Amino acid sequence: MTLRDRALGALSGLALGDALGMPTQSMSRAAIASRYGRVDTLLPGAEDQPIAPNLPAGTVTDDTEQALMLAELLIAGDGIVDPLEFASALASWEKEMIRRGSLDLLGPSTRRALSRLYDGESPDRTGRDGATNGAAMRIAPVGVAVPTEDLDILVDAVVDASRVTHNTGIGIAGASAVAAAVSACLDGASLDAALDHAEHAAAIGGSRGHWTAGGDIAARIRWARGWVREMTTAQLVDAVSEVIGTSVAAQESVVAAFALAERFGDDPRTALTVAASVGGDTDTIAAMCGAVLGAYHGAGALPADLVATVRRVNALDLGPTVDGLLALRSRRTPSGHH
Ligand SMILES: [Mg+2]
């Protein structure tokens, strides 16, 4: 499998997970079960879907849109994301969503950070309490653009792309975990080794940014991986929805994504459809899990019919984005590799 297959897999897996979770996001596990049974394919947003009413099956949400926005800024900035430019792109994105009549608007940390920025606060302070999963949901392009040779450098790149909105140990740790897992898969790591890299990067990221109270992401990923490894699907769904947690808090949803990657690493379709059924922030959990498993298996190993639908419904052309990110990656990779 080529590096490009894996990179395309990361972004395709992100979009596929996001679209699978779109119709169930913000619903309880019980409400999902009573309406859909177990989600096993792309479904439209129902009329009463709180965030995605009446959207066609396969439609992606903020996770994919903001990840692609970050990718474009990374490519245009030669690997550097200017925090003010990123903030302004996020604000424009939300304006466009409102114009389209969408209810999928900025998350709590990003919204608070942008309003502080307008009030004149420094971009180093605006994300001081951003501990939700917004940085992690959109970080996959950084994992494609930056190799894992030196995890401190990778975490630096995560911080640069996240600090304006999620400048906390928890927010950065969650994003570092996703970026490192994606990047390690692109480097050809086994899935087990890639998830180990995620833990290490989360430990490094957890000491960056402003301190905020909450469970330690690295420790929680390590614990969750060991705990869920032998579980049946039913036990895993209980574990994720009742104990690990599915809220927008990074120490819940990011850990949930890694628990699913650990247990269903061989089978991306099962991992992502179970993610779409667990309740809470299903689209983001599935998007993060999809980025990691897509990077590991490559685009060709994702369910082709579903990926084709997601590409068509959203008019996604991921090739140029992937090529731009890989050009950044090759410049950061010491000669002699690849
Ligand atoms: Mg979303």
Tell how far the Cα of 332 is from the centroid of ligand 1, in angstroms. 31
Q: Output the CA 244–ligand 1 centroid distance in Å.
A: 19
- Is it the case that residue 239 has pLDDT exceeding 50? yes
Radius of gyration of the chain (CA): 18
Whether the predicted pLDDT of 338 surpasses 90: no
- Asked whether the predicted pLDDT for residue 332 surpasses 90, the reply is no
Ligand 1 centre distance from Cα of residue 333 (Å) = 32
Mean pLDDT, rounded, of the chain: 96
pLDDT of 76 higher than 50: yes
Q: What band does 336 get if pLDDT is binned at 50, 70 and 90?
A: very low
For residues 330-337, give the mean pLDDT: 70
Residue 296 or 98, more confident:
296
Task: Identify the helix (H) or strand (E) that includes residue 113.
Answer: helix 108-118
User: What token pair was written down for 74?
Assistant: 């990374």
How remote is the CA of residue 63 from the centroid of ligand 1, in Å? 5
pLDDT at 335 over 90: no
For residue 329, the CA-to-ligand 1 centroid distance in Å is 27
175, 162 contact by CB (below 8 A): yes
pLDDT of residue 102: 87
Contacts of 153 (CB under 8 A, 6+ apart): 146, 332
Residue pLDDT, tens place only, 5-35 = 999 999 999 999 999 999 999 999 999 999 9
pLDDT for residue 230: 95
Ligand 1 centre distance from Cα of residue 222 (Å): 26
Domain-wise residue ranges, the chain = 3-332
Amino acid 334: pLDDT? 66
The predicted model scores a pTM of 0.97
Average the pLDDT over 233-255 and give the result. Answer: 98
Ligand 1 centroid from CA 122, angstroms: 27
Question: Residue 329: its pLDDT value, please?
Answer: 98
CA of 248 to the centre of ligand 1 (A): 10
Distance in angstroms (rounded) separating the CA atoms of residues 11 and 118: 32
Ligand 1 centroid from CA 257, angstroms: 14
Ligand 1 centroid, distance to 334 Cα (angstroms): 36
Q: Treating both helix axes as pointing N-terminal to C-terminal, what angle do 304-314 and 3-21 enclose, rounded to 10 degrees?
A: 70
* 136-150 residue pLDDT tens: 999 999 999 999 999
Mean pLDDT of 291-312: 98
Separation of CA 117 and ligand 1 centre (Å): 23
Q: Is the pLDDT of residue 337 over 90?
A: no
Measured between alpha carbons, how far is 255 from 318 in angstroms, rounded to an integer? 27
| Inter-CA distances, 334 with 141, 157, 191, 288, 331, Å | 20, 17, 23, 28, 8
135 CA to centre of ligand 1 in angstroms: 12
- CA of 62 relative to ligand 1 center, distance in Å: 4
**CATH T-level fold of 3-332:** ADP-ribosylglycohydrolase fold (1.10.4080)
- For residues 163 and 123, give the distance between their C-alpha atoms in angstroms, rounded to a whole number: 7
Burial of 276 (0-12, 13-18, 19+ CB in 10 A): buried
pLDDT band (50, 70, 90) for residue 180 = very high
